[in-house]
Structure 1
Amino acid sequence: MHLDLAADAPAADPIAFDDFLKVDIRIGTILRAEPYPEARKPSLKLEIDFGPTIGVKKSSAQIATLYAPEDLTGRQIAAVVNFPPRQIGKFMSEVLTLGFADEEGRVVLFAADRPVPNGSRLF
C-alpha cells in the first residue's frame, strides 16, 4: 500500500463512518524519549502514557530531525493504539505516533492544542 503524503495529494476514497471508528486514535503524554540511531530514518524511541485503561506504550517515531528527546517529555501527542505491534529494527513499536509532513518532508507531531486527559479518543 502506498500513501501519497504530499499536501497536494487528492483526498482518499470515501469510507463509512464505522470504518473511521475502527481506527482508535488516543492522546497520550510522552514519559521518555531517546535516540534510536539504529533506525533507517532519523527516529526516536518514545514511551507514552495513554492513561489507566490503555497504559504505557512504546513507539518508534521518525521525528528526530525536528525534535530533541529532552524537549518531548511531558508533551501530549496523538497515536493509533489499535494497530498490531510492529518490529522496527530491534525495537517493538506498539502504537503509531501521528504527524504531518512539513514542506521538507519532516514529520511534525499531531497534538491537541490544550491539555486533555490521557487516553482521550479522537472523534
Structure 2
Amino acid sequence: TPTQPLRPPWETGAQTPLAPPLQPQPVPMLDGGATTFAMPREMRPQQAQQAQQAQQAAQAAQARAEQQQRAWLAQQAQAAEQQAAYERAQADAQAASRVAAHAAAQQAAYERAQKEAHAT
C-alpha cells in the first residue's frame, strides 16, 4: 500500500534544538582596569572546566542529532525504494493479468471455431 512520507523529527518538534555552546561573557569591572570576568579568581578554572564540559556535551548531542538525521534520511530512501518496487510489481501483475485475459479469449475463440468446424 502507498505510504505517506514521514516528517523528520526536527520538523515535528520531537527534538528540542540545541542551545549554543556556553561561553563565559566578560563583565566590565568598575576598577578602571582591563575587562575581566566577574568571579573570584579561584573559581575561574572550575568555571572554564564546566563550560568546556557543557560545550563537549553540546557537541556530542549535536553529533547524535546529525546521526539520527542521517539514519532517518536513509530510512526514507529505503521506504521510497520499497514503494517504487511495490508499484512496479503492481504494474507487472496488471500486465500479466491482461495477457492472461487475452490468452483466455483467444482460447475460447479457438474452441468455438473447433466446435463450429465439427458441427458442419
- Using the size of structure 1 for normalisation, the TM-score is 0.17
Relative contact order (alpha carbons < 8 A, sep ≥ 6): 1 or 2 greater?
1
Larger radius of gyration: 2
Q: Which one has a larger percent strand, Structure 1 or Structure 2?
A: 1
- Using the size of structure 2 for normalisation, the TM-score is 0.17
Q: Which one has a larger percent helix, Structure 1 or Structure 2?
A: 2
